[in-house]
Amino acid sequence: MAQQTAIPLDQMAHRLFGLVDALDVEAINELITDDCEEVDEISRSWRRGKAEVEAYFEEVLAAISDVHTDLRDLAVREWADTGVITCVIDQTYRYEGRNERVIAPTTLLLRREDGDWRIALMHTVPLPDAPAS
């Protein structure tokens, strides 16, 4: 594996969702910790550990196409070797021939390992469409 330059904490959300948009499961897997946890909104349960999180991304990203994610309301906090990023993702994609859109508050908890930030928790909660007024 080629040596990469460490990604600053404030760029990790952009890096992660850029890889999601590119459907690059292998590169996403390099960003997560061995004990990573992630919310699986399809089964409405947790995926725990690198193998389960990798399987989740492989399954989901194989089923969608034309992904585009915008990040807004991004906030970053850092305490020594722990970081948290909160944001709202606005994501569009194609699933089973249909255009889909998800707006979801998202939390990423990161831990510094060997000088690099790694994602230890991904928590994305899609919100239902706002009612028409």
Q: How far is it, in rounded angstroms, from Cα 100 to Cα 92?
A: 6
pLDDT one-digit tens code per residue, 36-74? 999 877 778 899 999 999 998 898 888 889 999 999 999
3-state secondary structure of 118: strand
Q: Where are the domains of the chain?
A: 9-124
Residue ranges, the chain, pLDDT below 50: 1-3
pTM: 0.87
Calculate what percentage of the chain has a pLDDT beyond 90. 74
116-124 and 32-40 strand pairing: parallel
CATH code of the domain made up of 9-124: 3.10.450.50
Q: How far is it, in rounded angstroms, from Cα 96 to Cα 74?
A: 31
What does the pLDDT read at residue 92? 94
Token pair listed for 72: 């807004």
